[in-house]
Amino acid sequence: MSQATIKGLHQQLINKERSAVEITTEALERINTLEPKVKAFLSVTADYALEQAKKADSKIAAGEEIGILEGIPIGIKDNMCTQGIKTTCASQILANFVPPYESTVTQKLKDAGAVMVGKTNLDEFAMGSSTENSGFQVTANPWDLSRVPGGSSGGSAAAVAANECVVSLGSDTGGSIRQPAALCGVVGLKPTYGLVSRFGLVAYASSLDQIGPFARNVEDSAILLNAIAGHDRRDSTSLNIEIPDYTQYLQPELKKGLKVGIITETFGEGLDSIVAEKVRDAIAQLKEMGAEVKEISCPRFRYGLPVYYIIAPSEASANLARYDAVKYGVRKEADNLVEMYTTTRAAGFGTEVKRRIMLGTYALSAGYYDAYYLKAQKVRTLIKQDFEQAFEEVDVLISPTTPTTAFKAGEKTSDPLSMYLSDLMTIPVNLAGLPGMSIPCGFDEAGLPIGMQLISNVLREDILFHVAHAYEQATEWHKKQPQI
């Protein structure tokens, strides 16, 4: 599993060197061995996975052609609905919730023959940057078990970094794919808003949420995006466009005249010197490969954090109102309806979720709506305009993915603001609806991974894959493995 890629395993399957059941069994055994330390999975779906693997083997035995993802072990973030399989969002309020329907992305993967080995841990309702806000367990970073894997998709990132599955899915509202990808030393992609259906993704902030892949290399990320992207009539924000084969953009060399912009505002105060150094080294590498590099200013970039923490909690306040203990989820019995709501939500929601619900409810309340929410939406438009102007000059923008490498578990739990700053570089991308990718670009003195963020214009995932793959081919960072 440590050397496994989608294409490599696919070749082994069609050559009948290994069966899908053997590959799945190896993944499940690795999960069984490592989970007491890593705790990336909230549930392991062993029987279901082996059943899926047997289907792939039956097709091969019958001489049928198999798809690229058939028999490939994959982890799914536990905020995507899986029919008949528990979906908790890492919250006590959904501790026993079993969805009666399948999310679009998991259905697509099921149809493609991918083998879901389990549902991965996250910050409760995807609200957090460290996976410490999970209502069930704290996931460890495979590179240093005393540190966090990032969040909110920390379980998905850790599972891929620890080789418990080949690829995984996460969701990204303000950096929840890219930030843990950086801290765990893997590739993480947040696609253009609307490129991947959100049907069946349990909502946090509906105008920001987007599902995307985690992988150990850029090619696997492109293959997984091929499988999940596309229009879905059940998602009103889904883009009705033709989806290209993203693997066609994976060329070993940069195309001539590619223009790269360094976002100057991301190399200021609060950035660790080693992170700045390694990202600058990566930029120098791209320059050596033929890229034209220039400094680009996005002056409203710094307003991303305060804007996000008005808009996202406001949408969360509306979305989480549905947890009323009536139709589904945990119910605390009470003498009347209001008391039932109150006691259920008090017991079911964690501290961070309650904090964000209160922030959002306050921002939307009478007398404050114009001062906070409306103003935040206006500044969001200005941030988007900064990006639009930048892309008139360059093809791709670059910044560090995170200001620091992985921090110790418990280090920031008593300081929410310090925790929020972990998403400083990633949030503006969500506000503008753009695609962004984090790729490994080095390590600090403690051997912890560092990520570089690539940002392209709307629906220009092709550029991200092109630049990321070319850089990956010229470096060795993606080949390094944590020793657990």
Neighbour tally for 19: CB within 10 Å:
18
Residue 152 bears catalytic tag: yes
117, 106 Cβ separation under 8 angstroms: no
CA distance 296 to 160: 33
Residue 77 bears catalytic tag: yes
239, 195 Cβ separation under 8 angstroms: yes
Residue 54 bears catalytic tag: no
Q: Catalytic pick from 19, 91, 129, 152?
A: 152
210, 432 Cβ separation under 8 angstroms: no
Helix axes 46-61, 20-38, angle to 10 degrees: 160
Q: Catalytic pick from 129, 176, 197, 438?
A: 176
| Tokens of residue 195, six digits | 């490129």
| Tokens of residue 158, six digits | 């850790």
Classify burial at 361, counting beta carbons within 10 Å of its beta carbon; exposed 0-12, middle 13-18, buried 19 or more: middle
Distances (CA, A) of 148 to 45, 132, 305, 416, 457: 24, 8, 21, 15, 31
Residue with tokens 């009470």: 334
Q: Where are the alpha helices (DSSP H) in 190-336?
A: 218-228, 273-288, 304-319
Residue with tokens 């900064």: 386
Smallest CA-to-CA distance from 78 within 57, 56, 106 is with 106
Classify burial at 206, counting beta carbons within 10 Å of its beta carbon; exposed 0-12, middle 13-18, buried 19 or more: middle
Q: What are phi and psi of 14, to 5 degrees?
A: -70, -25
CA distance 90 to 42: 8
On the CB side of 67, how many CA atoms lie within 13 Å of its CA? 17
CA 429 to chain centre: 13
CA distance 379 to 374: 9
181, 100 Cβ separation under 8 angstroms: no
Residue with tokens 């919730």: 97
Q: Where are the alpha helices (DSSP H) in 253-350?
A: 273-288, 304-319, 337-348
| Tokens of residue 452, six digits | 């570089």
Q: Catalytic pick from 59, 77, 108, 119?
A: 77
124, 352 Cβ separation under 8 angstroms: yes
Catalytic residue set: 77, 152, 176
